Amino acid sequence: MKHRWKYAVAAYAITISAAALAVEPDAAMLSNACAGCHGTYGGSAGPSMPSLAGHSKTAIVEAMKKFKSGERPSSIMGRLAKGYTDQQIELMGEYFSKQKIHFTNQKVDLAKAKRGAELQEEHCSRCHLDDGKEGKDDTPVMASQWLPYLQMQMELYQTGKRKMPERMAEKVKPLSPADIEALLHFYAGVNK
Ligand code: HEC
Ligand code: HEC
């Protein structure tokens, strides 16, 4: 009797690990399709592409939804996002959220970055947490993103093509173009 119980537990354990295995490669395999642009573990290799590593799952899922619906303008992602179900997007979001943040070590203007660090503390740190290495809720990782990518996204916001979150708009509005530029240099330059 005692033995049969043991076997049942062992069989149950095998069933669980098989189910877990069936999910894991799926998430990694799906995310492989993103590697050409976002890097194998979500670390972007190109200046017009964001890194995804370390974004919260919510940030990735929300961005994908906005690409899918067309609310967020894109060169590529709109068409791409339409090819995935909500469940697949969740899996990929989870996968990238578990990867270690990618540091790019790009050159930035140090004087601008220094000014940007002060502005970040005062204006942006409520959502772009810990020097932008973390994001609150659906806020993306900013630290070490490529400067050209950040500049492009900021321009989309400021020309009204990408909708800025209201609370963020309140913080951005009073800043001069030089302030904004300083902030983006700061984020791009965070490398540890
Ligand atoms: C051919 C290149 C390419 C591929 C493949 C690709 N992306 Fe992208 N991705 C981009 C570009 C470029 C952007 C910036 C928005 C745009 O212009 O489309 C972006 C932006 C994003 C963002 C927004 C990040 C942020 O910081 O706001 C997410 C999330 C994302 N991609 C997820 C994915 C996922 C998940 C996959 C795989 C299914 C994928 N991408 C495949 C090029 C690509
Ligand atoms: C109330 C929270 C909040 C505050 C404050 C805030 N942001 Fe954001 N930020 C967000 C969210 C959420 C997103 C992504 C939303 C979206 O889908 O457009 C974002 C996205 C961005 C992006 C695009 C990043 C990407 O990967 O596409 C930039 C650039 C940015 N913020 C700059 C700033 C700067 C500079 C400040 C300070 C002046 C600031 N933000 C303040 C919440 C905030």
The CATH number of the domain holding residue 79 is 1.10.760.10
In a domain, 105, yes or no: no
Among the candidates 42, 73, 97, a domain finishes at 97
Q: What is the pLDDT of residue 24?
A: 47
| The pLDDT value given to residue 15 | 56
Ligand 2 pocket residues where CB is under 6 Å:
50, 63, 66, 123-124, 126-128, 138-140, 150, 153-154, 162, 165, 167-168, 171-172, 175, 183
- Which pLDDT belongs to residue 45? 81
CA dist 71 → 37, 67, 78 (Å): 22, 6, 9
Atom of ligand 2 nearest to the CA of 154: 29
pTM: 0.90
| Nearest-CA residue for atom 18 of ligand 2 | 164
Q: What pLDDT score was predicted for residue 93?
A: 97
Tens-place pLDDT, residues 89-142: 999 999 999 999 999 999 999 999 999 999 999 999 999 999 999 999 999 999
Q: Find the mean pLDDT for residues 72-93.
A: 96
Summarize the confidence of residues 59-72 as an average pLDDT.
98
Report whether pLDDT(156) > 70: yes
Q: Which tens digits make up the pLDDT trace of 20-63? A: 555 445 888 999 999 999 998 999 989 999 999 999 999 999 99
Residue type at 183?
Answer: L
Pocket of ligand 1 (CB under 6 A): 33-34, 36-38, 48-50, 52, 60, 63-64, 74-77, 80, 92, 140
pLDDT of residue 142: 98
Q: Is residue 17 scored above 70 in pLDDT?
A: no
Q: Whose CA is nearest to atom 12 of ligand 2?
A: 139
Q: Which ligand is nearest to the CA of 154?
A: 2
- Is residue 72 domain-shared with residue 125, that is, in the same domain? no
Can you give the residue range of the structural domain that contains 88?
A: 2-97
Residue 103 CB contacts under 8 Å (≥ 6 apart), including other chains: 143, 144, 190, 191, 192
- Cα Rg of the chain (Å, integer): 20
Q: Are residues 92 and 139 in the same domain?
A: no
CB of 184 within 8 A of CB of 147? yes
With respect to residue 43, please indicate whether it lies within any of the assigned structural domains. yes
